[in-house]
Amino acid sequence: MEPGFPVPGWTLPVAAVARRCLCGVLLLLCLLLSIAVAPLASSQARADTLLVMGDSLSAAYGIDPDQGWVNLLRQRVGSGHEVVNASITGETTSGGSARLPEILRQYHPDIVLLELGGNDGLRGLSPQQMQVNLSKMIERSRDAGARVLLLGIEVPPNYGPAYSDAFRGVFTQLAGDYDLPLVPFLLKGVDLDSMLQADGIHPTAEAQPIILDNVWPQLAPMLETQTPSAG
């Protein structure tokens, strides 16, 4: 038998082995590629958790909860984000500050929407103490790895210009001190004659889309930015 001469009966097995080897190599490459891509896909698919810490304005007081601006927000962001509404009617900054640590531990939010202060104002509580309470909430949220969006509110004009200015100044001062995005007045654009309930304080269902539209320009850029890992 001359060297290099094809041996009858060997040609088919050699080709079959070659095909199997090629398939094995391709399978190995696919497995390696899937392992490399999996962490990237996992990080891109991670959903941000949004925590709303508010009072009756965010708790849909007096209306169907499905019509409240927080639920409208949930619908707008879709399934890519979890929206947790920890708002309680009648909540003050003091009460919110006391509740926040446990809520942060429970939900590990990426973004905290802080909407408190209205009940402090209605009760004529000290704007200085309100600022202290909100500062604690901002710092605790940041320590937990969350970013904060501050939602401002104003008191009725009958409280007098001195108190009204001091109250409004709390939100602008905090936003400046902590470099926070700020919605200066949550109820901007809400018709106070036709879009308030009978109590003259709480917005109707008709006002809720307007409230969400006030929040959205500040919130939307935050949703596009990945939250840094805590620690």
User: 81 catalytic, yes or no?
Assistant: no
Angle at 208 between CA 178 and CA 189, to 5 degrees: 70
Catalytic position from the list 48, 56, 58, 97:
56
Scored b (16 or more CB within 10 A) or e, 103-135 reads bbeebebbbbbbbbbbbbbbeebebeebbebbb
User: 202 catalytic, yes or no?
Assistant: yes
Catalytic position from the list 42, 79, 199, 229:
199
Contact status, residue 138 vs residue 174, Cβ threshold 8 Å: yes
DSSP H/E element including 182:
strand 182-183
E-strand stretches of 68-156: 81-85, 111-115, 147-151
Catalytic position from the list 48, 55, 110, 202:
202
User: 213 catalytic, yes or no?
Assistant: no
Q: Is 200 helix (H, G, I), strand (E, B) or coil?
A: coil
Give CA–CA dist 122/112, Å, rounded.
24
Residues acting as catalytic residues: 56, 199, 202
